Amino acid sequence: MSTNTSAARVAVVTGGSRGIGRAIALALARQGWDVCISYASNAAAADETVKAVQQAGRQALAVQADMASHADIQRLFAACRKTFGRLDALVNNAGVVGGLRSIFDADPAHLREVFDANVLGCFLCAGEAAKAMSTQKGGQGGAIVNMSSVAARTGGMPQEAHYAASKGAVDSLTLALTRELAPHGIRVNAVRPGLIDTSIHEAHGGQATLDKLAPTVPLARVGTVDEVAEVVAFLCGPQSSYMHGALVDVSGGR
């Protein structure tokens, strides 16, 4: 049963505790959404995001949920249902780079870790969200936004085939779900950021890597988390009602 007294729309944002996910949670809150964010282990960052959403005047809930765990993901959506009583959008944002690893050193455990975080979690969250939002199952329809990367089409940085390939899978999943979920009133799109200033780049050189690559971007700079978040919030809401199956680059022309 809903404990939500407002008629606000509700979004689940995976990996909403830090970086791009936090900015998405805040962009949605500014547009009147309540948000349920998930995180892997950094509870303090998640708490900060919850407080920031509340300061923006909306309700927020943080749930620890490993994207590799179906049980965790089911618990995430159950907690969202219990607190808010509805779901209108899923942002499949959680992800990792997985560091640098040459194909000559391909390792099953490393590949599973990257694909669990970047791909498996997207599949399982999309499944839970579809059950909650499907107009054929008592839901009100909604939107799914998958966080891909320009690496899906460029191949990404050297020694990051694992990352590029995982984001290619996110693009394919997005296109596949447009067909399966349209009859359920659910729109599905993906956003493909380029170089965005977050701590994810600590996995491959941090600020030095960003400084080195910024001049290679046609707009000649790194992007901000807000520049990605505004596009994601647009794709979640009714103003993008005829967008379905779009892979939207937010990359400064890269």
Residue ranges binding ligand NAP (CB under 6 A): 15, 17-21, 39-42, 45, 66-68, 93-96, 117, 147, 149, 193, 195-196, 198-200
CB 222 within 8 A of CB 171: no
CB of 6 to ligand NAP, least distance (A): 25
Give the residue with the Cβ less far from ligand NAP, 31 or 118: 118
CB of 112 to ligand NAP, least distance (A): 11
CB of 249 to ligand NAP, least distance (A): 10
CB of 29 to ligand NAP, least distance (A): 16
* Amino acid letter, residue 170: V
CB of 201 to ligand NAP, least distance (A): 6
Three-state helix/strand/coil letters over the chain: CCCCCCCCCEEEECCCCCHHHHHHHHHHHHCCCEEEEEECCCHHHHHHHHHHHHHCCCCEEEEECCCCCHHHHHHHHHHHHHHHCCCCEEEECCCCCCCCCCHHHCCHHHHHHHHHHHHHHHHHHHHHHHHHHCHHHCCCCEEEEEECCCHHHHCCCCCCHHHHHHHHHHHHHHHHHHHHHHHHCEEEEEEEECCECCHHHHHHCHHHHHHHHHHHCCCCCCECHHHHHHHHHHHHCHHHCCCCCCEEEECCCC
The DSSP H or E segment spanning 134 is: none
* Amino acid letter, residue 149: S
Classify strands 89-92 and 60-64 as parallel, antiparallel or unpaired.
unpaired
Give the residue with the Cβ less far from ligand NAP, 117 or 139: 117
Give the residue with the Cβ less far from ligand NAP, 72 or 141: 72
Give the residue numbers marked as catalytic: 163
CB of 136 to ligand NAP, least distance (A): 29
Give the residue with the Cβ less far from ligand NAP, 203 or 243: 203
Give the residue with the Cβ less far from ligand NAP, 2 or 42: 42
Residue 214: helix, strand or coil by DSSP? helix
The residues, ordered by sequence, that sit 6+ positions from 215 with a Cβ below 8 Å of its Cβ are none
Give the residue with the Cβ less far from ligand NAP, 87 or 164: 164
